Amino acid sequence: MNPGFAYPNELETQWTLFIVLYPYITGLVAGAFIVSSLYHVFDIKALKPVARMSLITALAFLLVAPLTLLLHLGQPLRGIYIFITPQFRSAMAGFGFIWMFYLILVLAETWLVFRRDIVAYVKSTQGIKKAFYSALALGVYDLSERSLYIDKKLIKILAAAGIPSAALLHGYVGFIFGAIKANPWWSSPLMPLIFLLSAIVSGIALLIVIYVVISKIRKQPVDHACVDTMVQWLAGFLVVDLAFEGLEVISMLYESEDSWEIISLLITQKLRVSFLMVQLGFGSLLPLIVLLAAHSVRLRAGTRTAISFGGAFMILMGVLAMRWNVVIGGQLFSKSLAGLLSYTPPLMGQEGVLAAASFLALPLAILAALFYVLPPWKEVVEGEAQPAIAARQRRRFG
């Protein structure tokens, strides 16, 4: 901290690592769901190998999204009061209702997409597994042509409704920061759009990483056309995202208000590594250049996919750095705009680095469990479930 420039109530950073993870995880949800909708709504056939996987990925991360806020609270059980005593004029309280609506929508679409598989498992399993899948079936076992046609129509409607809902879910997070007029680093009308675009970018990048890793674990060939299609969408959204992020900083520079002096110091000093090097360099410009170059020259499909995997992983790191720079960066200058503060997250503790890393692994554990219960890589029809399960058991146990 620069001496003499901070008031006593400015010495403590109130929003720490869990609040950094909150917009990061919700962004992964929105981005993953968008990929599913690109297949179900816009019928982009190349995305079929990841369409069901993207839906389950969105569900796994969506289940974890509110936990970051609850664990950040001193009294997590008080979170239920958002629903018991709603305050519709509160932007922060609105997240509970937005999250609940989106969760119902994703659960409904996931059930419809996997309903045929669930019914097939009910008819081919015994004991506890049969009871489990029977509960998932919700008493609906009709697999007639008309029933499956209705399912398909409902899936398309829910997927279409999910696109603006995903935009609302994460655009709302950007609105929370952008609406804080007293903080010049946050107060920007572009903030909701930047958050939404970076969310889509991170979600697509996450699916590329998960799809390639799962294919290698299962020892199945990677659908290179699918990866190439995801990279095309990823690069497109990343270019637009970078354009708006650049416009935000340029507009601050052009207006040159009283706050620009401290913001310029924030960017060039406190956030020099996380903003300039990690977010813009390592996490945005470098992977964009690498991805565009890899898909502009003739390379083996496997080499191109490996480069896409590396670029996607770098983008995930860049978006995480962006969340850090927004949440933590906005708290690193004094309210008097006269000096900069410092924040180093503790290794241990309730919101330390280890706790945050462990929490970030939680949705991946949930995702692994969902993959086990409802494998998304093969659509099972009646009569195929038992051979598929037997083959999977033979591979697992040798």
- Percent helix / strand / coil, the chain, rounded to 5: 75, 0, 25
pLDDT tens for residues 298-332? 888 889 999 999 999 999 999 999 999 999 988 88
Q: How confident is the model at residue 362 (pLDDT cuts 50, 70, 90)?
A: very high
As a whole number, mean pLDDT of residues 14-22 equals 88
Residue 131 has φ and ψ, to the nearest 5°, of -65, -40
Q: How confident is the model at residue 134 (pLDDT cuts 50, 70, 90)?
A: very high
Distances (CA, A) of 318 to 22, 28, 42, 183, 346: 16, 13, 29, 23, 21
Handedness of CA 379, 203, 157, 39 (dihedral sign): negative
173 CA to centre of own chain:
12
Domain boundaries, the chain: 1-16+220-343, 17-179+347-398
- Pick from 195, 277, 202, 291: which is nearest to 244 by CA? 195
Tokens matching residue 298: 């003739």
d(CA 392, CA 377): 12
Average pLDDT over all residues of the chain = 85
pLDDT tens for residues 65-103? 888 888 887 777 777 888 888 777 777 777 788 888 999
pLDDT of residue 382: 46
Q: For the full predicted model, state whether its pTM sits above 0.85.
A: yes
pLDDT of residue 396: 43
pLDDT of residue 70: 83
d(CA 393, CA 230): 31
Residue 333 has φ and ψ, to the nearest 5°, of -125, 150
Q: How confident is the model at residue 333 (pLDDT cuts 50, 70, 90)?
A: confident
pLDDT over 60 (residue 215): yes
Q: How many CB atoms lie within 10 A of CB 386?
A: 14
28 CA to centre of own chain:
0
pLDDT over 80 (residue 7): no
Burial (CB < 10 A; 0-12, 13-18, 19+), residue 36, is buried
pLDDT over 90 (residue 398): no
pLDDT tens for residues 219-243? 999 999 999 999 999 999 999 999 9
First to last CA, the chain: 60
pLDDT of residue 1: 42
Longest CA–CA span in the chain (Å) reads 75
d(CA 13, CA 135): 46
pLDDT over 90 (residue 394): no
pLDDT of residue 136: 92
pLDDT of residue 14: 80
Q: Give the type of residue at 228.
A: D
As a whole number, mean pLDDT of residues 108-130 equals 91
DSSP state of 47: G
Q: How confident is the model at residue 296 (pLDDT cuts 50, 70, 90)?
A: confident
Percent of the chain exceeding pLDDT 90 equals 47
- Pick from 137, 36, 31, 25: which is nearest to 376 by CA? 36
- Pick from 392, 388, 368: which is nearest to 60 by CA? 368
Tokens matching residue 297: 């020259």
Distances (CA, A) of 86 to 22, 83, 89, 315, 329: 21, 5, 9, 37, 31
Q: How confident is the model at residue 389 (pLDDT cuts 50, 70, 90)?
A: very low
As a whole number, mean pLDDT of residues 116-125 equals 90
pLDDT of residue 380: 54
As a whole number, mean pLDDT of residues 370-381 equals 80
* Beta-ladder partners of 340: 333
pLDDT over 60 (residue 40): yes
pLDDT tens for residues 158-206? 999 988 888 888 788 888 888 777 788 888 888 889 999 999 999 999 9
